[in-house]
Amino acid sequence: MERDPRVCVIGEDVGHYGGSYKVTKDLAGKYGDLRVLDTPIAENSFTGMAIGAAMTGLRPIVEGMNMGFLLLAFNQISNNCGMLHYTSGGQFKIPVVIRGPGGVGRQLGAEHSQRLESYFQSIPGIQMVACSTPYNAKGLMKAAIRSDNPVILFEHVLLYNLKERIPDEEYVLNLEEAEMVRPGEHVTILTYSRMRYHVMQAAKTLVNKGYDPEVIDIRSLKPFDLYTIGNSVKKTHRVLIVEECMRTGGIGASLTAAITENFHDYLDAQIVCLSSQDVPTPYAGTLEEWTVVQPTQIVTAVQQLCR
Amino acid sequence: MALTRRSSTLLKPLTTFIPSTRLFSTSSDSTINVEIAVPFKGHQIDPPSQSVTTTASELMTFFSEMSRMRRMEIAADSLYKAKLIRGFCHLYDGQEAVAIGMEAAITKKDIIITAYRDHCLYLGRGGTLLETFAELMGRKGGCSKGKGGSMHFYKKDSGFYGGHGIVGAQVPLGCGLAFAQKYSRDENVSFILYGDGAANQGQLFEALNMAALWDLPAILVCENNHYGMGTAEWRAAKSPAYYKRGDYVPGLKVDGMDAFAVKQACKFAKDHALKNGPIILEMDTYRYHGHSMSDPGSTYRTRDEISGVRQERDPIERIRKLILAQDISTEKELKDIEKEIRKEVDQAIVQAKESPMPDPSELFTNVYAKGYGVEAFGADRKEVRAVLP
C-alpha cells in the first residue's frame, strides 16, 4: 500500500476494527478511511464495487470475512471478475485480489468451514493461490497485488497464529510456482494450506519407518505447477494427494486428472487422493476430526502406496 | 382487459408543446428556448426548471444521431432475422432520447455503464457503426474483437464500461466506478443505467446504501420501459415509483422520450452528485421491439399500445416537429439526412460483413493479462526464480 497509491482494501471490519483476524490491523490509522474501507454487510455489492474500481485502474484487495461469505458474491467473481478481460477484447484489466480465511477451523460449524477453492476452480480468467506459511503468505500476497489478473488468495483460519522469522528485505514469490518442502525419493505427496502441516507430521513418522517422501506444497491452485509436479512424478513414480477439499469435484480431483493426462507413463501405481468427507462439517469435535484427513491416515496411505 | 389496464398511462400526448421565442437572426447557432412538456417529479429534491435552451445545430445533431441509432437497430433486426447475428440481441429503438440526452449533458470523461441494451449507448459514446455491426456478427473488427457479442460492448477511452449480461450486476460495478472517481478526485460522475426489471434486485439497494454512505458521485438511472421482459411493471413491483425507491436518496422522474428533458435532468444530476452524493433518475421511456429478438413483443401488450406510443411520443418525431416549427430545416432536407444515414448504415454493414472471423488463436488471448503473474525474486534479489514452460 505504501509503494502504490492505487492499492486499497475493501471489506467488512477491515478498518477501525483491524480485521476479524487482525490482518489489516493499524492500516486504517495509517492510510485513512477511504483506502481501508469498512463496508456494510453486502458481499455481492462490495465485491462488485471492487471489480468496478479495478476496471478504472485501482488495485483493490477484497477481504471476505470468511471465504464462505463470498458465495454471495459468486456472480460478481465469476461473470465480471473472471470474464471482463476477455469479453471486452482486452480493454479492461481487473487487478483485484480477493482474499480471506477459509477451511475447517476449530468447531466453527458447517457454514463457516467451507473450502471454496473447489467451487471457484472452473472460473476462467482468475488465478487461485493458497498460502501456508508466513513466508509464502507475504510473498504471494505481494505477487497477487502486483499481478494484473484477478487473484483469489486462500488463507486458512487455523494458520493465522504461526510465527516465523522472515527476511526484512522485500521479496515477491511466483504465483504459479509450487514449493518443494521436503525432497525425497519414494513417493510424491502433493498438498496445500493446512494439510501441509498434517503431511509434515506424517512425514516424521514415515521417515522413522524408513520411507522417504517428497513433499510439495502446490500453492498455485489454478493453474497447477505441472512443471515441478511433473519432475517429481518422473523421479518417484508414486503420487499421494492430501487436501482439505471435499472428495467430489475438489482440487484433488482436478489434480488427479491433470497428472494422469500428462504423466500417465511415469506412474507405477494409481494416484491416491485423500480428501475431506463429502459432508457438511459437523460441530462436534470428534466428528469434525473425522471429516478432515489426519496424519495417521496419511501414513497408512503411503505405506499402502509404496508396497 | 388486464393487459391494457395500465397502458393508458403510457400515452401521455404532447399536447402542451410550446416552442417559444423565435429570435430575429436565423444563424444556425442562435439559441432557442424549449419548454419541457411533462413536468419533472422530485423526491426529496426540488426538480430543475422546465425550460431548456438549445441551438439549431444541437437540434440537427439530435435528429441525425437519433436517426442513426434508430436505423442501426432496425438494420440489426434484419441481420438477426437473416441469421447473421445470433444469440441474444436486445434492441433500443424507442429509447434513443435517453442515450442522446445523456450524452449532450456530460463529457467523455464521465462514465456510463449499462446492462445489455447497449448498442445505442455505445454509438453515443463514440463507437462507430462498423465496430458495432462487426461485433454483433462476431467479427475481428468488432469493439471486443468479436469475443463479447451484443451484450458486451465496451469503450474504455470514452468511458463506456459496458455491456453486462446479468441483470443488476452492473449496479455494484457502477458504484465501484464512482468510488474510483472519488478516490482519484477527478470531478467526474458515473451514470449507472438499469431497467425497471433490475430495479427489484437486492444488489441495487446494497450498492445504493454504500454510495449514499460514502457520498459517491453515482447517478442511478432507471430506464423504465414498463416491461421487464414479459412482465409489466405493475406485476413485478409493489411500488413502481422507482425514483422514490431510494428513500434517503433524492430522485427525479423524467419523461424519457423527450431528449431535452433527459439532458436537463442529467445536467442537474451531475451537479448534484458532485456536491451531495447519489441521486436516482427514472426515465419514463418505451421500447418498440420486444425484450429481445426472440420476443415478438405483442403477447404481453397490445399492438395498439405500441403504435399509440409511436404516434404520440416518438422521440425522433418530436425533434422533427421542433425543427420544422423553428424553420431550421425543411421536410425534404430531413428526409435527405435520413436517406444519407440509411446509406451509411448499409455501407457499414457491407464493410462489417467483409471483416474476417477472429483467428482460432484468439480463443486463448485475453483470458489473463499478458501471460501470468509477476516477476518473482528472493529476499537477496540475486536470484530470479521459477521458469515455467
Given a cut of 80, whether residue B377 has pLDDT beyond it is no
CB contact under 8 A, A89 and B209: no
Kindly report the pTM of this predicted structure: 0.88
- Note whether A276 and A104 are within 8 A (CB): yes
Given a cut of 70, whether residue B12 has pLDDT beyond it is no
What was the pLDDT predicted at B130? 94
Cell of B129: 457503426
Given a cut of 60, whether residue B9 has pLDDT beyond it is no
What was the pLDDT predicted at B32? 87
Select from A8, A167, A177 the Cβ nearest to the Cβ of B379: A167
Select from A76, A91, A176 the Cβ nearest to the Cβ of B388: A176
- Beta strand pairing status for B190-195 and B111-113? parallel
Residues of chain A under the 70 pLDDT cut: none
3-state helix, strand, coil in chain A (%, to 5): 40, 20, 40
Q: What average pLDDT does range B91-104 have in this prediction?
A: 94
User: Percentage of chain B surpassing pLDDT 90?
Assistant: 72
| A92 contact B CB<8A | yes
- Per-residue pLDDT of B233-281, as tens digits, reads 999 999 999 999 988 999 999 999 999 999 999 999 999 999 999 999 9
The verdict on domain B7-358 having CATH code 3.90.850.10 is no
CB contact under 8 A, B176 and A53: yes
What was the pLDDT predicted at A25? 87
Cell of A169: 528485505
Cell of B383: 536470484
- Beta strand pairing status for B227-228 and B231-232? antiparallel
What was the pLDDT predicted at B367? 84
- Note whether A153 and B361 are within 8 A (CB): no
What was the pLDDT predicted at B362? 85
| A180 contact B CB<8A | no
- Per-residue pLDDT of B331-356, as tens digits, reads 999 999 999 999 999 999 999 999 99
Q: Is the dihedral of CA A288, A294, A300, A302 positive or negative?
A: positive
- Note whether B347 and B98 are within 8 A (CB): no
Report chain A residues whose CB lies below 8 A from the CB of B109. Answer: none
What was the pLDDT predicted at B380? 59
Q: How confident is the model at residue B387 (pLDDT cuts 50, 70, 90)?
A: very low
Cell 509477476, located at residue: B374
Given a cut of 90, whether residue B1 has pLDDT beyond it is no
How many angstroms separate the CA of residue A126 from the nearest CA in chain B?
8
Let me know the angle formed at the C-alpha of B377 by A235 and A213, rounded to the nearest 5 degrees: 25
What was the pLDDT predicted at B376? 63
Q: How confident is the model at residue B28 (pLDDT cuts 50, 70, 90)?
A: low
- Beta strand pairing status for B111-113 and B41-43? unpaired
Phi and psi of A78, rounded to 5°?
-75, -55
Residue of B nearest to A143 (CA): B374
Partner B, chain A 266-295, Cβ-Cβ below 8 Å: none
What is the ipTM, given to two decimal places?
0.88
The rounded distance, in Å, linking the Cα atoms of B253 and B242 is 8
Q: What average pLDDT does range B286-294 have in this prediction?
A: 91
Given a cut of 60, whether residue B10 has pLDDT beyond it is no
- Per-residue pLDDT of A43-98, as tens digits, reads 999 999 999 999 999 999 999 899 989 999 999 999 999 899 999 988 999 999 99
| A235 contact B CB<8A | no
CB contact under 8 A, B165 and A139: no
- More confident of the two residues A6 and B20: A6
- Per-residue pLDDT of B171-201, as tens digits, reads 999 999 999 999 999 899 999 999 999 999 9
Q: For chain B, what are the domain ranges?
A: 7-358
What was the pLDDT predicted at B189? 95
How many angstroms separate the CA of residue B281 from the nearest CA in chain A?
20
